[in-house]
Amino acid sequence: MAKGAFQTLPGFRDFRPEDCAVRNYLFRNFREVARRYGFVEYETPIVESTELYLKKTGGELGTQLFRFEDQGGRDVTLRPEVTASLGRLLIDSQRAYQKPMRWFEIGQCFRYEAPQAGRTREFYQFNVDLIGEANPAADAELIALTIELMRELGFKQGDFVIRLSDRRYWQDFASSKGLTEDQAEELLTIVDKLERDKDGASGPKLERLGLSLSEVEAAINSPSELSDNLNSVLANLEARDMRNEVEIDLSIVRGLAYYTGVVFEVFDAKKKKRAVAGGGRYDTLISALSDGKIDLPAVGFAIGDVVIRNLIEETPHALEKMKAALTAQSACDVFLVVADPDQQTKALTLATQLRAAGIAVSYSLKPAKFNKQFKAAEQAKASLALVIGNEFPEVSLKILATREEVKLIADDTIVETISQHLKK
Amino acid sequence: MAKGAFQTLPGFRDFRPEDCAVRNYLFRNFREVARRYGFVEYETPIVESTELYLKKTGGELGTQLFRFEDQGGRDVTLRPEVTASLGRLLIDSQRAYQKPMRWFEIGQCFRYEAPQAGRTREFYQFNVDLIGEANPAADAELIALTIELMRELGFKQGDFVIRLSDRRYWQDFASSKGLTEDQAEELLTIVDKLERDKDGASGPKLERLGLSLSEVEAAINSPSELSDNLNSVLANLEARDMRNEVEIDLSIVRGLAYYTGVVFEVFDAKKKKRAVAGGGRYDTLISALSDGKIDLPAVGFAIGDVVIRNLIEETPHALEKMKAALTAQSACDVFLVVADPDQQTKALTLATQLRAAGIAVSYSLKPAKFNKQFKAAEQAKASLALVIGNEFPEVSLKILATREEVKLIADDTIVETISQHLKK
């Protein structure tokens, strides 16, 4: 083997500190935007019974489950998504919470599919769900959160677009054509793949349902009228000055079988036209998972870390914003330089006082030459170097950016003095 | 079934918002203390090749692996701990980083064992590792970080004690008694279990090694002299005013086979005397994992979320500190009360402005009576209620804690005015 004898499994990622910092930048933005919208965080297990995914969520996920038998003979799965777990949790606990519930989650999901560029077997997902409210104002609230997240990540109008649709539009269309429920389901699958259909397979499939490609394309491109829900969502977003980020696109139906109403995707508006994130209304999932015992309308949204990181890195102003945020987070405020080895004890005492005040402190763990310690301070990207020598308690503080030097006395006021220098 | 048809798997936990808040409180403290000590965060995958754990880490873990075969026929394991993955990662990447490396990680680990009180099959672990420094100042730095973490979590002197030991003491003891390497390994296993040995099995086991229980107990209780490393660690902690939290206890050897020198455990000093966390020096693990190609001394520490949460909940002043921190984090700063339904659009515009300024805003998603909206504001634990009525742009701000009311005009200054009220 080229590298070490041990490697990560295919499709799994190590996060070295520079990658982990990017991940945490995304997480901070997820949490910050969720907080502004009044959402609280929850989490569910990474391993669940497989039947949770087979029974109700349906769609493409069934074939990509990271599924195995545990030591107790259970058929279990590394979760492919979080909404089914949320449904399970809500059935047992929703009674304890005021409706509507504003809940979010950040955690890993897994899919067993052939690893390729941008297709990992694990990824982090930010899940936001608004539970217990059927009013389309809830759909609009979630779409607004999505737009605010994109703005916080440094994207501007024109970088992305929210493509908005309504599954009920297609249910109504199917009814008007006399299709059965199964046929309506199949129609949704064909519409979902229409945009990516390069070999013209959709036409014959539609004909088998008694429909023509041209009438379906007309239904997408020239809708007779929008549903009240879509009109209501558009007016709501207009009031937030977010209407320009949204366009109606009835070709969007979302892959997962559990969506029942308004659905939307965040699209890369530039060259690649790929879906970055998406969500929609799922008013029957909780009822289905609870065998009809609990009926809670809900609307949810999810975004993965891999695609959004790629989009940030391809978008200069978003990348610049991220880099600025990462640079602002120095791992080291003060590096202690011990000029006289006899004063090592004093350095430890000072380190303890500074750290107790919340200041990030580092220093050489073994005796080293003065210059080498200064080099280590620069490598640690410290803001300040505090030099402790044989004149102690007289010490000197060096501002590393400007090379300016200040003499200080290591008395009760030194922590406060150094804090002031860090705020500059 | 008593509850919903779907349940979590045995030993796995849901984190409802109130539990997730506790988890995040722990994580915030982990990250904050790591930052003060100059550590940067990394992460490795949750699933790894099983051979990574079988080859070198040894000890008790081998029998508790959450192990399965994936769809590609690979023998894989949900990681029981993170140090082996860190070793794997270091072999490929350590060249890129200045030594010593101060790295930490927070993530889930899994063990397949019989679920019982306090023994979950998954738990979060905070891992802190100092890599590339053999000087005992590194061991002391990590123990100091551990003590600072306990202090930050609200524990006081007397709540916990760091029990400090050195595996080399036992290696020297074994050599002086003429034991082979395997016999020395067995001696460590017996010493590790001595404190919990209730049926007197240790005596006969020691006799088989040609040792008596009394001479081993004497070696624990009346050591002839401490190693230079232990004396150095103690002096170092003394300079940090942390000596009182530490006691020498040579019966501590830690279960994992990869430790090579100083080892330590955080002990609950009160009734239960249980180990809360632990760590130690592992100078040969990276060499072993890399077949001798890379030789990096290292010292690490890990603490799990389950045991530390229990200890906080049993310790009144630590629990009080946690509760105060959780209460300070309101999910809602401002709740918008729309007194006149015609002004809903104005409410959305205001919500957008306030949120863009980082203020957490909530409101009723469907038209509701004035009193019901106020009740929702209180249930959301909002700090302020902003009432928007038919006199708009005149609005009124109600401070919910004091019931004080202020008239405002919704102009360009309102966001700043509300921010000021929130800072009070």
Of A8, A71, A239, the CB nearest to B349: A239
Q: Is the pLDDT of residue B232 over 90?
A: yes
Q: Nearest residue of A to residue B72 by CA position?
A: A112
Asked if the model's pLDDT at residue B2 lies above 60, the reply is no
Q: What is the largest CA-CA distance in chain A?
A: 93
Residue B287 has pLDDT above 80, yes or no: yes
- According to CATH, where is 3.40.50.800 located in chain A? 330-423
Q: Which residues on A lie below 8 Å from B88 (Cβ)?
A: 4, 6-8
**B85's tokens:** 């993955």
Q: What is the pLDDT, as a whole number, of residue A225?
A: 85
CA dist A220 and A236 (Å) reads: 23
* B201 phi, psi to nearest 5 deg: -75, -20
Rounded mean pLDDT, A252-259: 83
Find chain A residues with C-beta within 8 A of B49's C-beta: 6-7, 9
Strand (E) or helix (H) holding A185? helix A181-194
The answer to whether B289 and B89 are in contact (CB under 8 A) is no
Q: Is A26:A305 a contact under the CB 8 Å cutoff? A: yes
User: Does the pLDDT of residue A383 top 90, yes or no?
Assistant: yes
Determine whether the interchain pair B6/A366 forms a contact, defined as Cβ–Cβ distance below 8 Å. no
- The pLDDT tens digits for B190-219 are 998 888 887 888 999 999 999 999 999 999
Rounded Cα–Cα distance for residues B327 and B322 (Å): 9
Determine whether the interchain pair A39/B331 forms a contact, defined as Cβ–Cβ distance below 8 Å. Answer: yes
Residue ranges of B 167-206 with Cβ closer than 8 A to chain A? none
Pairwise pLDDT comparison (A254 vs A137), residue with the higher score:
A137
3-state SS of A230-243? HHHHHHHHHHCCCH
Instruction: Give me the pLDDT at residue A179, please.
Output: 95
Q: How many contacts, defined by CB atoms under 8 Å, are there between A and B?
A: 253
Is the CB of residue A16 less than 8 Å away from at least one CB of chain B? Answer: yes
Cis peptide before A297 (omega within 30 of 0): no
What would the pLDDT profile of B24-82 be if each residue is shown by its tens digit? 999 999 999 999 999 999 999 999 999 998 865 555 556 789 999 998 999 999 999 99
Tell me how far apart the alpha carbons of residues A387 and A391 are, in angstroms, rounded to a whole number. 10
Question: Shortest Cα distance from A394 to chain B (angstroms)?
Answer: 18
* Chain B residue with the nearest C-alpha to that of A52: B6
Which chain A positions have a beta carbon within 8 Å of B137's beta carbon?
A: 365-366
A-chain residues near B98 (CB < 8 A): 376, 379-380
Position A233 pLDDT exceeds 60: yes
Query: Has domain A330-423 been given CATH number 3.40.50.800?
Result: yes
Nearest CA in chain B to A40: B17
What is the distance between the alpha carbons of residues B229 and B143, in angstroms, rounded to a whole number?
13
Average pLDDT over residues B129-158: 97
Kindly tell me if the per-residue pLDDT of A95 is higher than 90: yes
Q: CB-CB: which of B9, B96, B360 is closest to A74?
A: B9
The b/e string for A204-213 (b: 16+ C-beta within 10 A; e otherwise) is ebbeebebeb
C-alpha distances (whole Å) from B327 to each of B18, B166, B323, B332 are 11, 42, 6, 12
Per-residue pLDDT tens digits for B376-417: 999 999 999 999 999 999 999 999 999 999 999 999 999 999
Q: Is B95 on the interface with A (CB under 8 A)?
A: no
B103 touches chain A (CB under 8 A): yes
Comparing CA positions, the residue from A90, A98, A53 lying closest to residue A290 is A90
Cβ contacts of B1 on chain A, cutoff 8 Å: none
Judge: A112–B352 Cβ closer than 8 Å, yes or no: no
B222 lies within 8 A of chain A by CB: no
- Which residues lie across from A120 on neighbouring strands? none
* pLDDT value of position A114: 76
CB A47 within 8 A of CB A76: yes
Q: How many CA atoms lie within 13 A of B311 on its CB side?
A: 26
Average pLDDT over residues B152-157: 96
The answer to whether A306 faces chain B, any CB pair under 8 Å, is no
The answer to whether B27 contacts chain A (CB < 8 Å) is no
pLDDT at residue A196 in the model: 81
Q: Quick check: A256 pLDDT over 80?
A: no
CB of B405 closer than 8 Å to CB of B385: no
Q: Cα–Cα distance between A176 and A194 in angstroms, integer?
A: 21
Is the Cβ pair A88, B138 closer than 8 Å? Answer: no
- Residue A403 contacts B where some CB pair is shorter than 8 Å: no
pLDDT of residue A58: 52
Task: Give the residue-averaged pLDDT of A216-242.
Answer: 93
pLDDT bin (cut points 50, 70, 90) of residue A382 is very high
Strand partners, A362: A335
What pLDDT score was predicted for residue A118? 58
Locate the chain B residue with the closest alpha carbon to A379. B98
Do residues B120 and B13 lie in contact, with contact meaning Cβ atoms separated by under 8 Å? yes
Q: Tell me whether residues B45 and A9 touch, CB distance under 8 A.
A: yes
The count of other CB atoms within 10 Å of the CB of residue B93 is 16
The nearest CA of chain B is from the CA of A354 a distance in Å of 9
Chain A touched by B106 (CB under 8 Å): no
Question: What pLDDT, in 10s, does the model give residues A76-92?
Answer: 999 999 999 999 999 99
How far does the CA of residue A245 sit from the closest CA of chain B (Å)? Answer: 15
Nearest CA of chain B to the CA of A412: how many Å?
A: 16
| CA–CA gap between residue B123 and residue B306 (Å, rounded) | 7
Q: What is the pLDDT of residues B3-30, one digit of tens each?
A: 567 899 999 999 999 999 999 999 999 9
Q: Which residue of B has its CA nearest to A18?
A: B42
Residue of A nearest to B381 (CA): A38
CB atoms closer than 10 angstroms to residue A158 = 10
For A71, which of B112, B351, B361 is closest by C-beta distance?
B112
What token pair was written down for A51? 């039947």
pLDDT over 70, % of chain A: 96
Who contacts A250 (Cβ-Cβ below 8 Å, separation ≥6)?
A165, A166, A169, A170, A219, A220, A223
In the predicted model, is pLDDT for residue B329 greater than 90? no
Question: Does residue B153 have a pLDDT over 50?
Answer: yes
Give the distance from residue A226's alpha carbon to the nearest chain B alpha carbon, in angstroms: 21
**Fold classified for B17-324:** BirA Bifunctional Protein; domain 2 (3.30.930)
Mean pLDDT of A43-62: 79
pLDDT of residue B195: 83
Min Cα–Cα distance to chain B from A219, Å: 31
Is B332–A38 a contact, with Cβ atoms under 8 angstroms apart? yes
Could you give the 3-state DSSP secondary structure of residue A385?
strand
List, by residue range, all CATH 3.30.930.10 domains of chain A.
Answer: 17-324
In this prediction, what percent of chain B has a pLDDT beyond 90? Answer: 82
Please compute the mean of the pLDDT values over residues A299-317 and round it to a whole number: 96
- CA-CA distance, A341 to A261, in Å (whole number)? 71
Q: Is residue A399 helix, strand or coil?
A: strand
Taking an 8 Å cut-off on Cβ atoms, the answer to whether A52 and B6 are in contact is yes
Helix/strand/coil (H, E, C) string of chain B? CCCCCCCCCCCCCCECHHHHHHHHHHHHHHHHHHHHCCCEECECCCEEECHHHHHCCCHHHHHHCEEEECCCCCEEEECCCCHHHHHHHHHHHHHHCCCCEEEEEEEEEECCCCCECCECCEEEEEEEEEECCCCHHHHHHHHHHHHHHHHHCCCCECCEEEEEEEHHHHHHHHHHCCCCHHHHHHHHHHHHHHCCCCCCCHHHHHHHCCCCHHHHHHHHHCCCCCCHHHHHHHHHHHHCCCHHHEEECCCCCCCCCCCCCEEEEEEECCCCCCEEEEEEECCCHHHHHCCCCCCCCEEEEEEEHHHHHHHHHHCHHHHHHHHHHHHHCCCCCEEEEECCHHHHHHHHHHHHHHHHCCCCEEECCCCCCHHHHHHHHHHCCCCEEEEECCCCCEEEEEECCCCEEEEEECCCCHHHHHHHHHHC
Report d(CA B193, CA B253) in Å as an integer: 9
Name the DSSP class of A284. S
A73 in B contact zone (CB under 8 Å): no
Which residues of chain B from 313 to 352 reach within 8 Å of chain A, CB to CB? 331-332, 344-346, 348-349, 351-352
Helix orientation angle between A344-356 and B136-152, rounded to the nearest 10 degrees: 30
Residues A134-183 have pLDDT tens digits of 999 999 999 999 999 999 999 999 999 999 999 999 999 999 999 999 99
> Is the pLDDT at B321 greater than 60, yes or no?
yes
Interatomic CA distance for residues B416 and B414, integer angstroms:
5
| Mean pLDDT in residue range A233-252 | 96
CB contact under 8 A, B38 and A332: yes
In the sheet that holds B66-69, the strands lie side by side as B47-49, B75-78, B66-69
- How many percent of chain B have pLDDT more than 70? 96
Smallest Cβ–Cβ distance between A12 and the set B17, B45, B236 belongs to: B45
* pLDDT, position A2: 44
Q: Strands A275-281, A262-268: parallel, antiparallel or unpaired by DSSP?
A: antiparallel
- Please, which residues 133-152 of chain B have a Cβ atom closer than 8 Å to chain A? 133, 135, 137-138, 141, 144, 148
Contacts of A362 in chain B (CB under 8 A): 37-38, 102
In this predicted structure, what is the pLDDT of residue B254?
A: 86
More confident residue, A119 or B261: B261
Cβ of A32 and B365 within 8 Å?
Answer: no
Decide if B299 contacts B138 (C-beta within 8 A): yes
pLDDT confidence tier of residue B1, bands split at 50, 70 and 90: very low
Are B258 and B284 spatial neighbours (Cβ–Cβ below 8 Å)? Answer: yes
Is B72 close to A103, i.e. CB distance below 8 A?
no
